[in-house]
Each structure stands twice: as structure tokens, then as C-alpha cells.
Amino acid sequence: MAEGLSPDFNADAEPSLWQACLDELSRELPEQQFNTWIKPLVAQVADDHSKLTLFVANRFKLDWVRAQYAGRLAALAERLQGHPVQIELAITLKETPVKPAVQSVSSALRGPVESLDAVDEAAPNTFRSRLNPALTFDTLVEGTANRMARAAAMHVAGSPGHLYNPLFIYGGVGLGKTHLMHAIGNKLLADRPESKVLYIHAEQFVSDVVKAYQRKTFDEFKQHYHSLDLLLIDDVQFFANKDRTQEEFFNAFEALLAKKSHIVMTSDTYPKGLTDIHERLVSRFDSGLTVAIEPPELEMRVAILINKAISEGSEMPEEVAFFVAKNVRSNVRELEGALRKILAYSRFNQKEVSIQLARDALRDLLSIQNRQISVENIQKTVADYYKIKVADMYSKKRPASIARPRQIAMYLAKELTQKSLPEIGELFGGRDHTTVLHAVRKIGGERQQLTELNQQLHVLEQTLKG
């Protein structure tokens, strides 16, 4: 990617292509988005109109524009131009002779009033946030599984330092916890670019503590962490057994809350489920809002697949998305892996994406899943977990200590296998399908309310998926 002007540009190039893009985008995008991200871009069109270079003020903006708008701009430019136009993004370097050249193009494009200074004024935030600009609320599909977490995250991004502080998000692997954290940071930076936002993985925090300890630089360490407006810290379960880190995190935590900075944490379990973490930290983790992210439901998985395919510049017909979503149920990361395989398979074999193609592309994955998750397997795993006999899964016994695990096993059978309600009923000692439906609804509903049950189900699901 260019970091300055490349010589093959004509500074006086006919500006109509960019102007037409601006006109179109100003109609398409919300005004605030257009004014913040598109309008300040300084454009240059290559002599032969094969390339459009856009200059931005800093790296953060460059990453953001690339993630959010480059695809749209390329499509738009191609449509307007009648042939593919390469979109290149570059940072305007103050110390290079770029300025006059860019300025003249800028003037040509938007009249003499707007100069590069207008771009510079959009104060580059030199603080390294470590945010991935592609992970935004816009690219995060909403569903029942993440609705509450997403709403809380939106609230925090909109008015940090107030409600839900700290925000503690927990859930299994690959369910979008990290994505949600980045989305909060990116939104805050988009709204208030001067904010000091830091995303950090808990392991990196541990390593920062170790470095500060070795180099005796705790003052700098504290200055750095205690000055933040928003601290996003991922996977705090990694603090287990790290006493010094826990102490430093406790200090940072207190300092940040005292100055009304916001803290968002993620973990694979809810605060009280954390092990080997000091009680005083655990109780602080739980003192704001604790929300779970659940595995995505079918419709959400379908929407994720369709959206991701589009963002990859491809298309996934709905029936194929349903087929994949029914077969890949565990988490979003696996869905993404499946999608990548299908798209690569389709490109490689030059075949359109179809159910048959998806079946071929995912053959290994599907056979592993089919092999691992059978109703019998579920019955055995659940019986072991709740310490009852496997035979009780088919028996007519009704005490709660047996009936409840049986209902849990029915629920998991519906969630994790392709079997219909009557088929499941049959495998549970010839029960009616309405009994199975009742169990599925009951456990599914309680899962949303009861943290402990939810945790147990997570463990069972992880065990069954191997």
C-alpha cells in the first residue's frame, strides 16, 4: 500500500469520477458517516482512470476506511467507469512533498476552500488502540444469542463511564466476544477520536506487568493504563494464579473506575465461575453488568453466513446457508471456516455454490460431526455428567433427579443432531414428540435465565463436540 504519492498520477486529473462517487455516497450513507469518513478523503485519479488513490490523515482512519468503504468504493467506481478501478489508500505524510500535490487535487475536487489542513485538523489520535477496524457493530449480526450483550455494548460505546461499568461479557469460544469489544472501541473512537482506547488480551497485560517488573518501569506502566478512557481486556480467565498481575489489574481497575473511565472484560465463564482469581477482583468484575453470549441460533447462523459471503465479494444462496448452518452449529469461527472452505472449493473448481458443492467441500467436517454427535452419545454424556444410569434415559421414571437430565439430553439431541422430534422421542424409550418439544422449550427457556444451567450446557456441548 502506498504511503505517499506514486509518480503515475496526474495531479490535474479529471475529477469527475471522485465527484460522482461523492455524490452517490452522500445519498447512500448517513450524513454523519459521510461527513466523518468520506468527505475528508483527498482523492487522486490515475491518468488512465485505472486507479483511485485516497489519502487519509492517519493509520486508524486508513484501516477504518479500508474495512468499511473500500469494497463499496471499488464497486461504485467500476460501475461509474465501466471497468475495474483499483482503490488505493495512503496516509498523507506531513514531512513529504505530498502536501502541495494533494492539496491541488483536493482543491480541484472540492474547490479552493477546503485544504489539506482540514484533514490535518481531524487530529490524528496517536494513541495505539490496537483495535481492528473491521470489527464493528455493523459487521456483527444480531440474534437472540447476543442481543443483550450487544445492546449493553452499544450503550457503553455511546456513553462510556456511566451505566454498566464494568461490563463483563462471557461465553464459549468463537461466539463474538472479542468482536463486540472491538466494536465498542471502534464506535467510541469514531464518535470521539481523541479518546484513549486500548484493546488488550489478558496475556499481553500479564506480559506488560512482567516487563514493568523486570525493567522497574511501574510508573510508566501505571501512567499508561491509568490514563485510559476505555480499557477493553479480553479473556480475563488468563489472570488465574498470576498474583502480581491481579494486583496491578486491581489497581488499574480502581483508578479507572474512580475517574469514570469504562472497563469492558470478556471471559469464558461468568465471574463467580472463575478459578484462582482473588475474591476482591471477582466481586468487582461482577459489580457492573454481566452478560452472556450464547451459541448462535439457526437463523443467526444463516444471516452470518450470508453476510460474510457478501463481505468476501461472493454470494451464498439461502438454501446453501441453511444447509451449512444446520450442520455447523458450534460457533461463529467454525462457520467462518466452513464458509472459507466452500468459497475456495467453488473458485478452485469453477463451480457455483450449491448444496452439493457445500457437501463436497465440507465432507471431512460433516463426517466428523456425524460420527461424534449421535443421540446415544448425548444420552451417555449427559447420564455420566449427572451421575445417573444411561438406562434412565429410556425409562419411565419420573423423579426430578432423572427427569431433568433426560430433558437436558432431549434438548441437546434437538440442538446437536439432525433428528426430528418423533425420532428423538423414539430414541428416548418411545416417548411422544410433544414430550420432546416440551423438554426442548423448557430447557431452552431456562437456559436464558439460569446461569448455572447455561454453564452446564456449555460444558456438555463442548464435551460432545470434542
Ligand X SMILES: Nc1ncnc2c1ncn2[C@@H]1O[C@H](COP(=O)(O)OP(=O)(O)OP(=O)(O)O)[C@@H](O)[C@H]1O
List, as residue ranges, the binding site for ATP: 174, 176-178
Measured from the CB atom, the residue of 41 and 232 that comes closer to ligand X is 232
Q: Is 436 in the site for ligand X (CB under 6 A)?
A: no
Q: Is 141 in the site for ligand X (CB under 6 A)?
A: yes
| Rg of the Cα atoms in the chain | 26
- The continuous run of DSSP H or E covering 49 comes out as none
Measured from the CB atom, the residue of 51 and 329 that comes closer to ligand X is 329
Q: How far is the CB of 304 from ligand X (least distance, A)?
A: 5
Q: Is 391 exposed, middle or buried (0-12, 13-18, 19+ CB in 10 A)?
A: exposed
Question: Of 203-211, 329-337, 410-418, 456-464, which part binds ligand X (CB under 6 A)?
Answer: 329-337
Q: Which residue's entry shows cell 490515475?
A: 46
Residue 248: which residues within 8 A CB-CB, separation 6 or more? 209, 212, 221
Question: Of 139-147, 346-354, 394-402, 438-446, which part binds ligand X (CB under 6 A)?
Answer: 139-147
- Do the beta carbons of residue 264 and residue 231 sit within 8 Å? yes
Q: Which of 5, 140, 202, 230 is the binder for ligand X (CB under 6 A)?
A: 140
Q: Is 174 in the site for ligand X (CB under 6 A)?
A: yes
Write the Ramachandran bin of 164: left for phi over 0, alpha for psi from -120 to 50, otherwise beta: left
Q: How far is the CB of 196 from ligand X (least distance, A)?
A: 23
Question: How are beta strands 230-234 and 42-45 bridged, if at all?
Answer: unpaired
Q: Provide the annotated binding site.
A: 174, 176-178
Q: Is 68 in the site for ligand X (CB under 6 A)?
A: no
Distance in angstroms between the alpha carbons of the first and the last residue of the chain? 42
User: How many residues bind ligand X, per CB under 6 A?
Assistant: 17
Residue number of the CB atom closest to ligand X? 176
Question: Of 175-183, 311-319, 337-345, 411-419, which part binds ligand X (CB under 6 A)?
Answer: 175-183
Q: How far is the CB of 347 from ligand X (least distance, A)?
A: 20
Alpha helices in 263-399 (DSSP H): 279-285, 298-311, 318-327, 332-349, 355-361, 363-372, 375-385
User: Omega of the bond prior to 40 within 30 degrees of 0, cis?
Assistant: no
Q: Which of 51, 61, 66, 179 is the binder for ligand X (CB under 6 A)?
A: 179
Q: Which residues bind ligand X (CB under 6 A)?
A: 135, 139-141, 146, 171, 173-179, 304, 332-333, 336
